Amino acid sequence: MSQNNDQPEPIKVLIADDHVLYRAGVKTALSTKKDIKVIAEADNGMHLLNMLKIIQPDVILLDIQMPVMDGIGALPEIKKNWPHIKVIMLTMMDDHSMITRLMELGANSYLSKTSDSEIIYEAIKTCYEQEYYFNTLTNKALLTNLKIRNTISPQKIVQMEANLNDKDILILKLMCEEKSTKEIADIVDLSPRTVEAIRDKLKVKTGAKSTAGLIMYAVKNNLLDDAL
């Protein structure tokens, strides 16, 4: 009997990792989820790129450290040739500069290999539906990276295609400094409700789905960089 319309096609996932046991564990865990299907496995980046010429998953779980070609080498190739595929990086390393670099190269999320199967499932679903999955690892890395770069006054910031005005940019900058809504309201001399309304408008203007998405927008567009 054919499935009815409220049962959509499962999200197609490819696991690229050189550890057979890890692949098997993730595959087994995801096999209990009706809305996800692991369609293939690769044991290095080169193997993965060759497979993508034949089959295209919706989401790739990509290990950073692999022989022949690692995840860092494979990521730009995937994004260049198959930009619609979402890529979730897997690693044992909690390296802030590495996380930011990978996100800027187009990674859609970054998970520790110790993450449990529910987190992996949530990341796959969220990346597929909303493009990015943010967690404490990614947020901390992005904020740390912004703080390192962020020695700049709002006047020097380049206004991007989203048509952000000076107040928008100042509020975005303060959000990136982890200021609360009340702190921002005090600094810009507006009510907290007005600040929240501007933040909501910023999401619409930039296409961000969350506060973390706004921070990602600032990073990707170098909004808080000094002009070199």
Question: Which helix (H) or strand (E) segment is 13 a member of?
Answer: strand 11-16
Cα 109 from Cα 112, distance rounded (Å) = 10
CA 7 to chain centre: 27
CA torsion, points 35, 41, 47, 49, in degrees to nearest 10?
Answer: 0
pLDDT range class, residue 156, cuts 50, 70, 90: very low
Residue 43 belongs to domain with CATH number? 3.40.50.2300
Is 88 inside a domain boundary?
Answer: yes
Do 123 and 164 sit in the same domain of this protein? Answer: no
Token reading at 16: 């690229």
For residue 176, the number of C-alpha atoms closer than 13 Å in the C-beta half-sphere is: 30
Is 144 inside a domain boundary?
Answer: no
Is 21 inside a domain boundary?
Answer: yes
Do 61 and 128 sit in the same domain of this protein? Answer: yes
For 76, the 3-state DSSP assignment is helix
Domain span including residue 180: 150-220
Do 33 and 105 sit in the same domain of this protein? Answer: yes
Per-residue pLDDT reduced to its tens digit, 20-70: 888 999 999 999 999 999 999 999 899 999 999 999 999 999 988 887 788
Do 22 and 53 sit in the same domain of this protein? Answer: yes
Do 126 and 158 sit in the same domain of this protein? Answer: no
Query: What pLDDT, on a 0 to 100 scale, did the predictor assign at position 152?
Result: 45
Cα 100 from Cα 109, distance rounded (Å) = 10
The whole-model pTM stands at 0.64
Is 162 inside a domain boundary?
Answer: yes
Is 6 inside a domain boundary?
Answer: no
Query: What pLDDT, on a 0 to 100 scale, did the predictor assign at position 228?
Result: 29
DSSP state of 92: S
Do 18 and 94 sit in the same domain of this protein? Answer: yes
Do 70 and 170 sit in the same domain of this protein? Answer: no
Is 225 inside a domain boundary?
Answer: no
Please report where in the chains the tokens 């730009």 appear, as a residue: 76
Per-residue pLDDT reduced to its tens digit, 159-215: 444 567 778 888 888 888 778 888 888 988 888 888 888 888 888 777 777 777 777
Number of structural domains (the chain) is: 2
Token reading at 29: 């865990």
